[in-house]
Amino acid sequence: MVTPDTSATTDTPGSSGTAATAASAARELAAVRRLLDANLDRAREGLRVLEDWARFGLERADLVARTKDLRQRLGGLHREAYKRARHTATDPAAGMAHPAQHQRLRPEQVVAANAARVQEALRVLEEFGRPLDPQLAAEAAAIRYSLYDLELELLQAGGAASERRRRLQAAHLYLVTSPVPELERVVAAALAGGVRLVQYRAKEGSSGADGAPLTDDERLRQAHSLRQLCARHQALFLVNDRIDLALAVDADGVHLGQGDLPPAVARRLLGPDRLIGRSTHALEQLRQAQADGCDYAGVGPVQATPTKPGREPVGLAYVRQATAESAIPCFAIGGISVGSVPAVRQAGASRVAVVRAITEAPDPAAASRQLLAALGQEH
């Protein structure tokens, strides 16, 4: 053991021990910073692999948005001090590979391996980050739990889920129903006119054809009838708000307002295959909808509408913001008619949702065709 030369120092007894302790603490801090840097890199790289598969392999904008959100949250906590501690030349494991890496021949094997890689890195960030960077440790824990569900959805994406989302991407005219006389006839005509996305909306307090309040039994009958109509036209059928009703009639998904159940709860009940839409009235709500894994967003109301009494219109400014930023399909909604479609398109929107423009039209089929023509679309 080499003992320090103290002949030219005036340190007091024990100062050399203090210096040694300080040096040891500095080395330990540097090591932890290197460790955090390495695992932040590992987690972010693995998330990018998942993100690119969601984008190019699955063509799932909702999963892209969720994965990107996790990656950017980590990126925001990748501090400069950790990057400066990096020293690849002295890393004994740099470049080390494993034979298992050459056995990943299918995309799902790559997804599973990278999800595991991210989860392991996040666990390291939790454990070593607690004393040095509690914020990073807490965020790593939150992201790790989010990734469990995301991994499952990435692996299960396909089949019915993939087909539903493909049809959602192709839909540009969205009919939201209201309790009108001969509802089934109106929807059948709209489907004949080219509508391929229908939402059954019958809020509490709605009245039936006889003027009496709608019962759940009547709602079930109507929803089942509309579901069958949509199936015959290969159209998507969603239910507003009522997850129980959506499951009862095997709907393609649900639409949730800002005051309804959180999308995470809806997803647990519905499973990964069905669609979830969300009403949004501001950019922050749209960003949250994407982070929550929603498949599409309603954007509005563009104009004041009796469908949403008391709701202040957001105008076309929000439509412009939403369509420019959103990674998921956005449907402009709120008082939209054939005459207002050109202004909506000029704001950047290619999709609209309507209620009265079809349900109160003398000829719902003709109204649907006119709206689609104004949008320059077939569906």
User: What distance in Å separates the CA atoms of residue 122 and residue 138, rounded to the nearest whole number?
Assistant: 10
* Same domain membership, residue 306 and residue 198: yes
Number of H helices, E strands in the chain: 15, 8
Q: Residue 18: its pLDDT value, please?
A: 83
* Same domain membership, residue 136 and residue 27: yes
Token pair in block for residue 236: 């998507």
The model's pLDDT over 70-86, given as tens digits with 9 standing for 90+, comes to: 999 999 999 999 999 98
% the chain with pLDDT above 90? 70
Which residue is associated with the tokens 């809020």?
203
Which residue is associated with the tokens 């989302």?
165
Average pLDDT over residues 336-364: 97
Average of per-residue pLDDT values in the chain: 88
* Same domain membership, residue 164 and residue 152: no
* Same domain membership, residue 167 and residue 72: no
Q: Which long-range contacts (CB under 8 A, 24 or more apart) does 251-259 make?
A: 251/200, 251/223, 251/227, 252/164, 253/164, 253/277, 253/295, 255/176, 255/199, 255/201, 255/279, 255/298, 256/294, 258/285
Which residue is associated with the tokens 């309804």?
260
Q: Residue 236: its pLDDT value, please?
A: 97
Give yes or no for residue 104 having a pLDDT over 60.
Answer: no
* Residue 180 near residue 155, CB atoms below 8 Å: no
Q: How many domains does the chain fold into? A: 2
Least confident range of 47-56, 59-68, 174-183: 59-68
pLDDT band at 305 (very low <50, low <70, confident <90, very high): confident
Domain contains 204 = yes
Domain contains 13 = no
CATH number at residue 334: 3.20.20.70
Q: What angle do CA 164, 167, 170 make, to 5 degrees?
A: 155
Q: Which long-range contacts (CB under 8 A, 24 or more apart) does 283-289 make?
A: 283/318, 283/321, 283/322, 283/325, 285/258, 286/322, 286/325, 286/326, 286/330, 287/325, 289/263, 289/328
Give yes or no for residue 35 having a pLDDT over 70.
Answer: yes
Which residue is associated with the tokens 């569906």?
379
Give yes or no for residue 62 having a pLDDT over 60.
Answer: yes
Domain contains 96 = no
Residues with active-site annotation: 201, 279, 308
User: What distance in Å separates the CA atoms of residue 259 and residue 249, rounded to the nearest whole number?
Assistant: 23
pLDDT band at 9 (very low <50, low <70, confident <90, very high): very low
The letter for the amino acid at 228 is Q
Average pLDDT over residues 345-368: 97
User: What distance in Å separates the CA atoms of residue 352 and residue 346, rounded to the nearest whole number?
Assistant: 13
The model's pLDDT over 227-279, given as tens digits with 9 standing for 90+, comes to: 999 999 999 999 999 999 999 999 999 999 999 999 999 999 998 889 999 99
* Same domain membership, residue 298 and residue 166: yes
Token pair in block for residue 176: 């939201």
Domain contains 1 = no
The model's pLDDT over 201-235, given as tens digits with 9 standing for 90+, comes to: 998 877 766 678 889 999 999 999 999 999 999 99
> Could you tell me the pTM of the whole model?
0.66
Which residue is associated with the tokens 């499951």?
247
Whole-Å CA distances, 187 to 3, 16, 223, 361? 90, 86, 11, 12
* Residue 306 near residue 334, CB atoms below 8 Å: no
User: What distance in Å separates the CA atoms of residue 202 and residue 277, rounded to the nearest whole number?
Assistant: 16
Range of the domain at 244: 160-375
Residue 242, judged by CB atoms within 10 A of its CB (0-12, 13-18, 19+), counts as: buried
* Same domain membership, residue 193 and residue 271: yes
The letter for the amino acid at 373 is A
Boundary of a domain, candidates 157, 182, 202: 157
Q: Residue 64: its pLDDT value, please?
A: 92
